[in-house]
Structure formats: structure tokens, C-alpha cells
Amino acid sequence: MVQLSISRRLRGTPYTARLEAAGVKAYTVYNHMLLPTVTESVEEDCAHLKQHVQVWDVSCERQIEIRGPDADKLVQLMTPRDLSKAQIDQCFYIPVVDERGGMLNDPVAIKLADDRFWISIADSDVMLWAKGLAYGFRFEVEIDEPDVNILAVQGPKADELMARVFGEQVHTIRFFRGLWLYFEGQSIYVARSGYSKQGGFEIYLEDRALAEPLWDALFAEGADLNVRPGGPNLIERIESGLLSYGNDMTRENTPFECGLGKFCDVETSIGCVGRDALMRYVIDGPMRMIRGLMIEGERVPGCREPWQLTADGGEFAGQITSAVWSPDFQNNVAIGMVERDYWRAGNTLWVDTPDGQRRAVVHDLPFSA
Amino acid sequence: MVQLSISRRLRGTPYTARLEAAGVKAYTVYNHMLLPTVTESVEEDCAHLKQHVQVWDVSCERQIEIRGPDADKLVQLMTPRDLSKAQIDQCFYIPVVDERGGMLNDPVAIKLADDRFWISIADSDVMLWAKGLAYGFRFEVEIDEPDVNILAVQGPKADELMARVFGEQVHTIRFFRGLWLYFEGQSIYVARSGYSKQGGFEIYLEDRALAEPLWDALFAEGADLNVRPGGPNLIERIESGLLSYGNDMTRENTPFECGLGKFCDVETSIGCVGRDALMRYVIDGPMRMIRGLMIEGERVPGCREPWQLTADGGEFAGQITSAVWSPDFQNNVAIGMVERDYWRAGNTLWVDTPDGQRRAVVHDLPFSA
């Protein structure tokens, strides 16, 4: 790892001071904002996440608010997922694609009211896409980035901790649903969601003044639960098959290649951007697909650029884009885009790592023991 | 400084291997890409830049290519600067604003042909804005991000070094103009431009295979010129009054506030986004303006978030967004947005730094000895 030069452009969050007082060791940059990546070490953080509960500063999951009479029209234009039956306070994982069907983002959309949505974005400036479309279509909408700063509470003890801070109502929240709950007299949107498979919640804090009180309450109430600061964990997210926009998929990929075909209702007559381009995938399927892979041998170095996959005969078979040593699997787990001829589970390929060529075996995602 | 966790999402460049072999000490992240910030130290790098010549990996200045029959229409829609007289191979600094006149980016546009432009962008996904507008207006254009990776050659010996590598023709290139020159038999666009006031060029390399040969040629030919790797230097750019999008200006600011009113031809009848919003500034002028400031006392810490400025009576007077100790001025130089009542050069204000309140004096930009 190298040092990060921090400036205002790499925005801090209302939790940064608490996080740095707690000794955060590394950041990445996400949506022009600091995202903590390491508390103790990636491996220790992973083990802790699977046993206890962590509080993550994921303020970098910026919200793009779209409101106004044409809000629903614009949000539907932005995704091939059919949102016509969307209910208020429901969350939707929506692929956002360009005119060629290339992924621009894979956000979660929340319908807050019939004329008001939050799009909780991955790492690209979706606001500019939404504003460009709205301007071109003369939609009656307002689009901005409200000062919403999400804390994720993740891990098997998340329900217990959240109930202590927000009350027993948290248990009633179903997966990908949300409720407005109270903290210090203010109403805050809380959803059962998050970028791990260990269970948990995301707290959409709107009032910056409550950021440190909320952080402090979670740590005070969670002391006996062994609560710790954390962040999206590379090992856990690869094991769980959680994709990362910019890592595992880019504008080069369609949702079908990313395993998100089930969120593409292109056959129903919805007028989204990219519909025509995506149509052929409904018939032919994709030519490559996101797959899990296990890479044999010693622990691999960090995957900083795609590692090419080849078949025994030397044919191009795809690329690996995320890889890490998994203590639980005692193997290197990886995510990659594998060509159609080679994507069957159990297939053995070669991968060019910076340490030399290794054997890699195709697996289904998520990895299972 | 903290550590940076690098992944594929923070894209490397074709020069990253050379840069890391040379011992780069820190990066920032810019347009989802690594941008080197420190070679020896910010102060030593600054002194060297002012005396010798540096090679900067500024691949993160991504090019957005807009081509097709409606390319000129789209580029003109994106900026209030009148481009009707633009000549081929000319560079234009263009504010890009949204419908309210808020800055979305401050790129340099290069007209490569009547139907082909490169927009050399600051840190925001201008491609999404351009694609959104093009889709909405049904423009006949193609928009993408070609694999152009810029090396900047900056410093007083830049002309000498460039002439050795590209030939004497480099001397004929005027400021903000470009020429197609040859390197290893391939034609490469070279402009007299760059993010310093020490003079120099930017080399728009399109063929990735030539990246390391070009790097190596510059270092071989420049050995006796004391050539070094470098990057945009915080001290030099503040002294020179070079603004940084995301640091000194955001979507909250209009071009008039950023001192870019001279690039806003809103009175001529061009149909750009934001024209109506910007119109009133032509009459009334802005209510706040980017200004230089010198902060008294010991060296200030890094400016990670805006530092508030107040007048003697406690009135809000603006904010500082970039600040650093300048060895040449033996003072802290800063850039900030100062409210109209207080922006006159020589005015004395108070600034809240993390180290406590200090005196700050308003200066014109660039700072002069």
C-alpha cells in the first residue's frame, strides 16, 4: 500500500473524526469521498464481522434525490427493471445502463413517495446522467445530492445492537425494506440492507448534527457485543459474491454479463435507456458471465488490474478482477468475467497473476463450504 | 497521511509500473484513477519543478471523445463559452455548468476535427453528463473514453527536453495550441499546456504500447537536465492561482464566482445549458469570488475541509479550501471563496484552522513576490 494525499476533493464524512480517533488504517476513495477499508487487518476484520457486529461509515454511498411530477418517469427511464409495482419505502437493486446496455452503476433505489426517490449509488456520478437525461427530456424534476450519510450496522449481532438503539421495531423490517425510526427525537430511514451477507441495516442519517451522537450511541450500546468500526470487507464480499462496480463490472459489461438479467424486464414495454441493446440478450443470453474462481497455491497479491484467464490450449477465457486469500476456505477466492465456453462450475483455467501463472477453478457464487 | 487500499476500481495507468519503480510516495484518486502527488516531498518537488523539468503521469485527465455530425452542437450545449470560432487543434478552457449555472467540471476542450472533440476533464464523470444530454436531444454523436494517457512535461527545461524527444518543432507550438508530432513513427498530439505555471507540454498518448518507451526516452534524454517524475504540486498550483475542481469549486459555484466569467459568452445567443441562470451575473456580478489569501503564523495543517472565514465583527466572510506553506513566500498561501463585502486585496479576515483561529489577508491571484 502507498500513502493517500487527502484534500477537500476527497470528501470527509461526519464520522471521519470518530473513525480516525478509533485508528482507521486505510481508505479507498468512492464517489469522491473517503471509505474506510481496514480497522485491524482485512483478515481480522473479516473474522470479526462474521462473529460480532460492526459499524461502517459508508457515507460514500451517496444518495441522488429525484423529486417532482416526473420523478417516476425519470427513474424508470434509467433502469431496465420494471418499477411499476414499486411500493413506498421499498428498496430496489437496479442496474443503470447506457444506450448500448453498458453498466453505468448498480445502485439501490428507494421509493420514498410517489414523486420522490433516493438512488443510493455505487462509484460513478449518476447525478450527471440523471440531470442530462432530465434536461434533454424536459422532465419536471429536481435532482440533487442531499447530505445523507449512511452508517451500516453489519454482522450477526446487528439486530441486537440496532434494537438497543432504535427499539424492537427493527426486528419487523424485512430484507430490502425500510422503516422510519426515531433517534433523539428525529425520524431516520432505516433499511435492512448492506454490502455483506452477515445481515444488518443501513441508517440513512440526514441531520449531520446527529452523526457523532449516533456513532457514540452505537458504540456505547454495543460495548458488550464487541462492536467495532469496519468497512466493506474484501474477503467477505468475494466469498459472498457481492459485485463491486468499477472492479468486477464496468461500462463494458451488460447487466446480463453481471448476473443481473433477472432485474432486466426488457420484454415488458417499459421505455428505458438501453432497452433495444439489451433485447438480444433475452434471446441469446450473454457471451460471458461473472463467476467465482478459486486460485490454487499461496496467497495471491492484490488484484490491481484484470488478470487474464486462458484455457489449456491458450484460448482467451476471461479475466479475474477481485481476488484475496480466504482463511475460511484456505484458498484464494476470486471474482471474474468468464467466457461462455469456459464458465461451467468445475472448469479449470489458467490465470496470469503478477506472481506467475496459476490454476483457477470456476465456482458458483456465493462460494459455499 | 493514511494508507490507500488500491483495487482495479482505482485504475492504474500505463506508467504506473515505471512510477512505482521510481519510488512514488503518495497518490490521490482522480477520475477513478491514480494520480501521483509526492516524489520526494511536496516542498522539494516544488523547488525542483521551478528549476528543472518533471514528467507527470496525468493519465487521470481522461479524454471524453465526442464525434459525429452533432458533436459541435453537443459541445456548445455543454459550455457557456462561445466556440463558434474554434479552430482545429486549438485548446479551450471551458466551464461546464448545469441548468442552474453550477460548475460540473472545468475541462480543456480540443477540437480535433469539425466533427470530433476531446474534452480533457477534471474530476467528475462528464461522460455521463454528455451522454445524458445527447440521449435526451437525440443527437447523432458517439461518446466514449478513449485510452488516451497524458504525460505532462513541466518546468523551465521542458522545451529543451521535448525538443530532444520530439524535434525542434515543439518550439513553434503556441500556448494552448497543439501539433501532431512523431515518436517512434507514430503521430501523437502534443499541446503547450499543463497544470503549472512553469511552462511545458502535455503529450496525449493513444498507443499504450508506447507508454514505457516514451517514459524511458524522456528520462534518458533528460538525465543531464535533472529530470524527475512529479505530479501537480500543491504549493506551485496555489501560488500560481490554479483552481482545482472539487477543492476550490463545486457544483455550488458558478463560473463567475470562480473567476471564469471571461469564458461565459452568455449575452451572445448561444444555446448552452445554464444560460438563463448565468444571465443575471452579467448584470450584477457574483456575490463571492475565488481569491488568494495569506494565512499568518506557523505552517498550517492540510486543508481537508473548508475553513470558515469571518470578519472582525464575526460576520461570515467565506471559506478557504486549499492551503499550504510556501517556502518562497515564507508564508501560508491559500485559495478560498470570499464574500463580496470582504474580497478586496489587503482585507484582513479571521480563518478557523484545525490549529485555531489565525489572521488571513486577501490577495490577488496568482500570488506575486
ipTM score assigned to the predicted complex: 0.96
Residue type for A46, please?
Answer: C
pLDDT at position A268 over 90: no
**What is the per-residue pLDDT for B17?**
97
Judging contacts by C-beta atoms under 8 Å, the chain B residues touching residue A6 are 1-2, 28, 302, 304
Burial B33-68 (b: 16+ CB within 10 A, else e): bbbbbbbeebbebbbbbbebbbbbbbbbbbbbbbbb
Give the closest residue to A233 by CA, choosing from A45, A78, A100: A45
A183 vs A205: CA distance, rounded Å: 10
CB atoms closer than 10 angstroms to residue A308? 16
Numbers of helices and strands, H then E, in chain B: 8, 22
The confidence score (pLDDT) of residue B270 equals 67
pLDDT tens-place string over residues B274-313: 998 999 888 889 999 999 999 999 999 999 999 999 999 9
DSSP 8-class letter at B11? B
Q: How far apart are CA A348 and CA A208, in angstroms?
A: 51
How many angstroms separate the CA of residue A135 from the nearest CA in chain B? 7
Query: pLDDT tier at B332 (50, 70, 90 boundaries)?
Result: very high
Query: Which residues from B are below 8 Å from A29, CB to CB?
Result: 4, 10, 28-29
B54-57 and B228-230 beta bridge pairing? parallel
CATH number of B287-369: 2.40.30.110
**Model's pTM, two decimal places?**
0.96
The fraction of chain A above a pLDDT of 90, given in percent, is: 95
* CA nearest to A130 within chain B: B132
Burial of B73 (0-12, 13-18, 19+ CB in 10 A): middle
Are B3 and A4 a contacting pair at CB < 8 A?
yes
Which residues in B lie closer than 8 A to residue A143 (C-beta atoms)? Answer: none
Do B342 and B323 meet the contact criterion of CB atoms below 8 Å apart? no
Chain B residues with CB inside 8 Å of A137's CB?
136
Smallest Cα distance from B247 to chain A, Å: 5
> Which pLDDT score, from 0 to 100, does residue B283 have?
85
Quick one: pLDDT band at residue B231, thresholds 50, 70, 90? Answer: very high
Q: What is the mean pLDDT of residues B116-140?
A: 98
Asked if pLDDT for residue B68 goes beyond 60, the answer is yes
User: Could you write out the DSSP letters of every residue in B294-305?
Assistant: EE-SSPP----S
C-alpha A345/C-alpha A361 separation (Å) is: 8
Please state, rounded to an integer, the average pLDDT across all residues of chain A: 96
Tell me the shortest Cα–Cα distance from B325 to chain A, in angstroms: 15
Q: For the segment A171-197, what is each residue's pLDDT rounded down to a tens digit?
A: 999 999 999 999 999 999 999 999 999
Is A132 in Cβ contact with B130 (below 8 Å)?
yes
B350/A90: higher pLDDT: B350
pLDDT, tens only, B261-281: 999 998 775 689 999 899 988
pLDDT confidence bin for A267, thresholds 50/70/90: confident
- Cα A193 to Cα B239: distance, rounded to the nearest angstrom: 47
pLDDT at B282: 84
> Which among B128, B302, B303 has the least Cβ separation from residue A124?
B128
Measured distance CA(A170)–CA(A307) in Å, rounded: 42
Question: pLDDT band at residue B1, thresholds of 50, 70 and 90?
Answer: low
Contact across the interface for B9 and A125, Cβ inside 8 Å: no
The Cα angle at residue A23 between residues A20 and A24, in degrees rounded to 5: 75
Instruction: Give the pLDDT mean for A139-144.
Output: 98
CATH 3.40.640.10 fits A16-58+148-238, yes or no: no
Q: How far apart are alpha carbons B108 and B94 in whole angstroms? A: 6
pLDDT for res B269: 56
A22-26 contacts, C-beta under 8 A, 24 or more apart: A22/A229, A24/A229, A24/B2, A25/B2, A25/B3, A26/A1, A26/B2, A26/B3, A26/B4, A26/B5
Report residue A270's pLDDT band, with 50, 70 and 90 as the boundaries.
low
| Whether CATH 2.40.30.110 fits A288-369 | yes
Our CA-based measurement puts residue B230 at a distance from the nearest CA of chain A, in whole angstroms, of: 14
Q: Cell 433477472: give the residue.
A: A262
Place of cell 438501453: A274
Q: What are phi and psi of B171, to 5 degrees?
A: -65, -25
Query: Taking residues A266-277, what's their average pLDDT?
Result: 83
pLDDT at A269 over 60: no
Minimal-distance CA residue of chain A relative to B136: A136
Q: Helices B126-136 and B71-78: crossing angle, nearest 10°?
A: 120
- Tell me which CATH homologous superfamily contains domain B16-61+148-238: Probable tRNA modification gtpase trme; domain 1 (3.30.1360.120)
CB contact under 8 A, B4 and A10: no
Of B3, B25, B37, the CB nearest to A26: B3
Among B368, B364, B363, B356, residue whose Cα is nearest residue B294: B363
What residue spans define the domains of chain A?
16-58+148-238, 63-145+254-286, 288-369
Percent helix, strand, coil in chain A, to 5, is 25, 35, 40
- Residue B29 grid coordinates: 484518486
pLDDT in tens, B14-66: 999 999 999 999 999 999 999 999 999 999 999 999 999 999 999 999 999 99
* Separation in Å, CA of B164 to nearest CA in chain A: 33
When CB atoms are compared, the residue of B4, B98, B245 closest to A131 is B98
Cβ of A322 within 8 Å of Cβ of B136? The answer is no
Average pLDDT for A132-139: 97
Closest-CA distance of chain A to residue B333, Å: 15
Cell 433523539 appears where? A184
Q: Which of A8, A33, A43, A304 to mutate to test the interface with B (most CBs of B within 10 A)?
A: A8
Q: What residue in B sits closest to A144 (Cα-Cα)?
A: B251
Neighboring chain A residues of B306 at a CB cutoff of 8 Å: 8
Superfamily of domain A63-145+254-286: Aminomethyltransferase beta-barrel domains (3.30.70.1400)
Alpha-carbon distance of B220 to B227, in angstroms, equals 9
Contacts of A26 (CB under 8 A, 6+ apart): A1, A4, A36, A37, A38, B2, B3, B4, B5
Mean pLDDT of A298-319: 97
Spatial distance between the Cα atoms of A122 and A59, rounded to a whole number of angstroms: 11
CA dihedral A79, A81, A84, A90 (to 10 degrees): -100
